Amino acid sequence: MVKPVLREVLTVAVTTGVVLMTQDRPFEWSLWTAIAASLLLPLRLRWPWLASLLCVPAVAGGLGWAPALVAQYRLGSKEKSIPVQLFWALLMTVASIAPVLMTESIPLGPLLLATAFAFGLAAAPTALGALITTRKELTQSLYETRRARAAELEAQETSARAAERARIAREIHDAVGHHATLIAVESAALAATAPDAAVRETALRLRALAKESLSEMRAALGLLNSDTSYPSLQELVERARVAGVSVTLSETGDTPLSPAVSRALFRVVQESLTNVTKHAPGATVTVTVDRATPVRVAVVNGPGDLPSLADGGGAGLHGLSERVRLAGGTLTTSYRADGGFSVSAVLPPGKPKVDGQDSTFGGGARDTATA
C-alpha cells in the first residue's frame, strides 16, 4: 500500500516540477491547466480516459506534455481498442497544433513536420503502454501453457505407470495363480485318494490355504472387489495352533470397523504369527485386540525354544508398517528383555460399511483365552 502511494506522489511531483520549470508560457491559462493536469494524474489509475481528457487543455496551452505522456501511457496499457488509442493520440496532436495555427502563420512544410512530431509524441507512450501490457499477457499465457503441458505430461506418466502396474498384476496373477490352482487341485486329489485320515485332513487344509492365497492375491492386485472375505481372527489363530504355535487370543470391544482397518488388523496378526513360526519356533504368543476408539492390537511372543527357520531378514514388517499407515494408523515393533518380540498397532475405526457388515472378518465382542 505504501509503495503505490509513494509512486503516485513521485509522479505528481516530477510532472508538476517539469511544468514549473518551463519558462515559455504561451497563454495566461497555460500554467494552471498544466498544474491541474499534473495534480489530477492519479485519476488515470481508475479512469485513464479522464486523465487524458484533462491533459488536452494543458497540451493546448503548450505546457501539458509532461502529464500527457504519463496519462497516454496508462491509456495505452489499459485500452485494448487500437482505434480508441489512435483517437486519443490524434486528439493530443490536434490540441497541440490548433493554438499555433490560430496565432501564427506557418508554412506547410514546417507545419507537417510539427504535426508529425506532435503525433509521435502522443502516440509513442500509448504504443509503449500497449506493448508492455501485451508482453505481460503473452508471458502469462506462456506460463499457463507450460503449466498445462506439465500437468498433461504428469497425467500421461501416471497413466503409463498405472498401465504398467496393471500389466505386472496380470502377469503375477497368471504365474502365481496357475501354481496355486495346481496346488489346490492336487491337494483335492490327494484328499480323495489318501487312505490315512490325517493325510486327507492335511491335504484339505492345504487346498483351503491355496484357494485363500489365490483369493487374497487377486484382491491385492485389484482383480476382485473390496468385499473379498477374510477368515476371522479366531480361525487364523486356530490355523496357527494346528501348525504348532501356542497362541492365546483375547478380543474385546464391538466398534464397527471399516474394511480397510479390518484388513490392516488382520494382516498385523497374520504377519506377526508368520514371523513367530519363522524366527521363534516353539514360542508362546499372546494376541490382544481391543476394538475401541482407537483400535489397538498387540502380538507378543516369548523366546523360541527351537532353531530359527528364517534364512535372512525379510521385508514383511516394512510392508506391514506401510499397510497400517495407509489405513491411518501407526505400527510399533520392539525386542523384549526376555528375548521375545512385540508388534503393536493403533488404528482408527474408520467408516464402517453402510450395511454394518465387516467384510474382512467377524466383529463383535469376544473374549477367548486358550493356551
Look at residue 226 in the predicted model and tell me its pLDDT. Answer: 46
d(CA 164, CA 3): 55
Look at residue 250 in the predicted model and tell me its pLDDT. Answer: 93
CB atoms within 10 A of CB 317: 16
SS3 assignment, position 300: strand
Residue 62 neighbours by CB under 8 Å, 6+ apart? 24, 25, 26, 27, 30, 96, 99
Phi-psi region of 114 (alpha: psi -120 to 50; beta: other; left: phi over 0): alpha
Look at residue 296 in the predicted model and tell me its pLDDT. Answer: 94
Which cell goes with 363?
A: 466383529
CB atoms within 10 A of CB 21: 8
Q: 272-292 in b/e burial notation, b at 16+ Cβ within 10 A?
A: bbebbbebbbebbbbbebbbe
Residue 351 neighbours by CB under 8 Å, 6+ apart? 258
Look at residue 251 in the predicted model and tell me its pLDDT. Answer: 92
Q: What is the residue type of 270?
A: Q
The phi, psi pair for 315, rounded to 5°, reads: -110, 15
d(CA 97, CA 267): 91
- Of 48, 36, 47, 28, the closest CA to residue 12 belongs to 36
Give, for all 371 residues of the chain, the pLDDT tens digit: 678 888 888 888 888 888 888 877 778 888 888 899 889 889 888 999 999 999 999 888 888 888 999 999 999 899 888 999 899 889 998 888 888 778 777 788 888 888 898 888 888 899 999 999 999 999 998 998 888 888 888 887 877 777 777 777 777 776 777 778 778 888 888 888 888 888 888 888 888 888 877 777 776 666 544 445 667 888 888 888 887 889 999 999 888 888 778 888 988 998 899 888 888 888 899 999 999 888 999 999 998 887 776 655 556 787 788 888 888 899 999 999 988 999 999 998 766 544 443 333 333 333 333 32
Q: What is the residue type of 36?
A: A
- Of 328, 327, 329, the closest CA to residue 343 belongs to 329
Look at residue 301 in the predicted model and tell me its pLDDT. Answer: 93
In order, the DSSP letters of 256-296 are: ---HHHHHHHHHHHHHHHHHHHHHSTT-EEEEEEE-SSSEE
Kindly tell me the sign of the dihedral angle through the C-alpha atoms of 205, 207, 209, 212. Answer: negative
